Amino acid sequence: PRKIIIDTDPGQDDAVAIMLALASPEDVEVLGIVAVAGNVPLALTARNTLIICELAGKPETRVFAGCDRPLLRPLVTAEAVHGVTGLDGPVLPEPTIALQDQHGVDFIIDTLRNEPSQTVTLCALGPLTNLATAMQRAPDIIPRLQQIILMGGAYFEQGNVTPVAEFNIYVDPQAADIVFKSGVSIVVMPLDVTHKALTTPARIAAFRALNTEPGRLVAEWTDFFERFDKQKYGSEGAPLHDPCVIAWLIRPELFEGRHINVEIETTSELTMGMTVADWWRVTDRKPNALFVGSLDADGFFTLLAERIGRL
Ligand code: BDR
Ligand code: CA
């Protein structure tokens, strides 16, 4: 299995991604999960992460709190999408497990220094603040990273928080800029692919039909998500953005993408956080990311139901 650190801001779709990872020990070994401020403030994303690990039946998972705000810009949150708790939908219990004492950024740095070089992959499901802070504070970890798989950005799909910016990149564009310039191998799951990971009544019913507590939770979280997307975009299903990151590690053959150059807009207020993706290779800028664009959605949802069914 590949050793991974999950960096996250749960978020219903983050929750499904975490459950998918925790259900897949033959593919990924979760060394720890670090919360970041994003969909809701850090106190809530950290708490939600604890709840998710417990509900997945994996209370031994180490959970850390990372940064509580973006590098330079004020925090922008997304309660309109995820609800005030960030994990609205089903009624959830109080967590009984506790956060680790260590700061999440120190955990990332220590892990990358202690594990053999090029054996740890970072899976980022929220703004990139923790990872960029770790890279700034300890540049020696950069060549030690095996890969970064992240959900963020958009190209043909444009933005979901401004006309051109996707939420995770928009919240901390300076952090994204540091990560995209780092030289580490990066795989990006932009809206172009996550908008193909759409729930349907049958796909949600398949989670419910698992007849397990995690299955019921995933069904209720996706139900909650759908309500918003129907109202806002008139779309039939809701995109399960973040699980694409974990699914890529398990079944990369479900996805297709291109190695291209991606730069992050960090100065213009109008286009702040835009991922300027050279899809048609019209510049001679060197490719720095595998930008994923297509997905076998049926295969993706089959994988999800099969793995969540194990928990
Ligand atoms: C991303 O933003 C968050 O709201 C989701 O959890 C996902 O990571 C989609 O733009
Ligand atoms: Ca997220």
ipTM of the complex: 0.99
**Angular region, 133: left φ>0, alpha ψ -120 to 50, beta rest:** alpha
Are 27 and 121 in contact, with CB atoms under 8 Å apart? no
Nearest residue (CA) to ligand 1, atom 10: 167
* Termini Cα distance of the chain: 18
**pLDDT at 182 (0 to 100):** 98
Residue 84's CB: how many other CB atoms inside 10 A?
A: 11
**pLDDT at 143 (0 to 100):** 98
Asked if residue 275 has its Cβ within 6 Å of ligand 1, the reply is no
Asked if residue 307 has its Cβ within 6 Å of ligand 1, the reply is no
Hey, which of 39, 198, 240 would you mutate to test ligand 1's pocket, going by the most ligand atoms within 8 Å of its Cβ? Answer: 39
pLDDT tens column, 243-277: 999 999 999 999 999 999 999 999 999 999 999 99
pLDDT tens column, 167-181: 999 999 999 999 999
> What does the DSSP assignment read for 152-213?
---STT--SSSSSB-HHHHH-HHHHHHHHTS-S-EEEE-HHHHTTSB--HHHHHHHHTT-SH
> What does the DSSP assignment read for 137-150?
H-GGGGGGEEEEEE
Active-site residues, by number, are 241
Question: For each of the chain's 311 residues, which pLDDT tens digit applies?
Answer: 999 999 999 999 999 999 999 999 999 999 999 999 999 999 999 999 999 999 999 999 999 999 999 999 999 999 999 999 999 999 999 999 999 999 999 999 999 999 999 999 999 999 999 999 999 999 999 999 999 999 999 999 889 999 999 999 999 999 999 999 999 999 999 999 999 999 999 999 999 999 999 999 999 999 888 777 776 777 778 899 999 999 999 999 999 999 999 999 999 999 999 999 999 999 999 999 999 999 999 999 999 999 999 99
Residue 151 alpha carbon, nearest atom of ligand 1:
8
**pLDDT at 226 (0 to 100):** 78
**pLDDT at 225 (0 to 100):** 82
Phi, psi of 218, deg, nearest 5: -60, -40
Asked if residue 168 has its Cβ within 6 Å of ligand 1, the reply is yes
Kindly give the distance from the C-alpha atom of residue 7 to the centroid of ligand 1, in angstroms, as a whole number.
12
Hey, which of 166, 168, 170, 191 would you mutate to test ligand 1's pocket, going by the most ligand atoms within 8 Å of its Cβ? Answer: 168
Residue 39 alpha carbon, nearest atom of ligand 1:
4
Asked if residue 78 has its Cβ within 6 Å of ligand 1, the reply is yes
Spatial distance between the Cα atoms of 48 and 44, rounded to a whole number of angstroms: 6
Spatial distance between the Cα atoms of 77 and 84, rounded to a whole number of angstroms: 10
Kindly give the distance from the C-alpha atom of residue 283 to the centroid of ligand 2, in angstroms, as a whole number.
31
Determine the 3-state secondary structure of 103 from DSSP. coil
Kindly give the distance from the C-alpha atom of residue 256 to the centroid of ligand 1, in angstroms, as a whole number.
21
